[in-house]
Amino acid sequence: MSITRRPTRQIRVGKVAVGGGAPISVQSMTNTDTRDIAATVAQIQRLARAGCEIVRLAVPDQEAAAALARIKAQVDIPIIADIHFDYRLALAALEAGVDGLRLNPGNIGGPGRVKAVVKEASARRVPIRIGVNAGSLEKEAMAAHGGVTAAAMVASAMKHIRLLEDLDFYDIKISLKAAEVPLMLEAYRQLAGQVDYPLHLGVTEAGRGLEGAVKSAVGIGILLNEGIGDTIRVSLTGDPVQEVVAGFAILRSLGLRQRGIELISCPTCGRCQVDVEGVVARVQQDLQDVARPLKVAVMGCAVNGPGEARQADVGIAGGPGFGLLFRHGRPVRKVKEEDMARALIEEVRRLVAEEEEEENANE
């Protein structure tokens, strides 16, 4: 069953269309010091190889703002400047050529300062993301709506939206992030019924590794399944490349995007006769750069293994000390257990190369 997405107006973040039926984009944020240009560029390039489509950078001071132009000149994906409190940093980021701003207009000073930023953003056709976070709600919103509630978050977002609309600025996207999934869900649902701007989804401070990915998948996945959401970020503690991997996994699980390897592997049980976990870990690590959507299976015994391996584009089914390699349902060869991961990786890369060669020949 296909998902009917909420209709929204469309904006552009650099070369990436957001909303208005455009594919849901996967975003991340660097955790390097933006002032360290080499480290930041290297991390953005790693993110781009993993499929990241938009990246956000912290801009805490003028030195970081000054680094943006040199960073942008060395990367190919759109850059969003994350601005808090100081409108001069927003102006400097715009001058550096960023593709988007993340700020709350009510937090950067009086009307004159907001107008200055909006005027420059409008002239450069740079969108602004209003980012409401449950951890930093205004006291007035909390007082009017009984504390940190979905209604308070929506009221905060609407206040900032009106500041921009009053200046005839409509290149807006909005996020309403919270660490508590039920609160985040309710806030997005309420706002989705009030505005037609594209929404950026995320569970903030989701945590590390598996726990953070699960929490994000529940919150983001529920809203996406309801048709809400135009961009996503999985906020994980640690290497931001894993945010991108998790983001595409969420979209793939709902049939919304197809990118990279979908890995099917058995949970292992007493019948397992090979090191499935070890094979899976190596396959995941070595094939992160594969963008072509492929289904790859790693199975550990003769009960479900051959059937699952045959249904994958490339699969391997383990037996006592060996693995049987399949490609598009046909057995390819038998390999020793210690060679299973290598053989599977090589077969995937061979398949990708052959398919790309065939496509190029048909162009």
The encoded tokens of residue 221 equal: 């996945």
User: Between helices 241-253 and 209-225, what is the axis angle to 10°?
Assistant: 40
Check: CB of residue 164 under 8 Å from CB of residue 122: no
Check: CB of residue 323 under 8 Å from CB of residue 299: no
Give the strand pairing for 231-232 and 261-265: unpaired
> Binding residue per annotation — 363?
no
The encoded tokens of residue 208 equal: 């590390």
CA 276 from chain centre, in angstroms, equals 28
CA distance 271 to 298: 14
| Residues in Cβ contact with 89 at an 8 Å cutoff, skipping those fewer than 6 apart | 59, 60, 61, 62, 64, 65, 81, 83
Distance between first and last Cα of the chain? 33
3-state secondary structure (DSSP) of residue 324 = strand
Check: CB of residue 19 under 8 Å from CB of residue 198: yes
> Binding residue per annotation — 52?
no
> Binding residue per annotation — 272?
no
> Binding residue per annotation — 266?
yes
Residue positions forming the annotated binding site:
266, 269, 301, 308
Residue positions forming the annotated binding site for [4Fe-4S] cluster:
266, 269, 301, 308
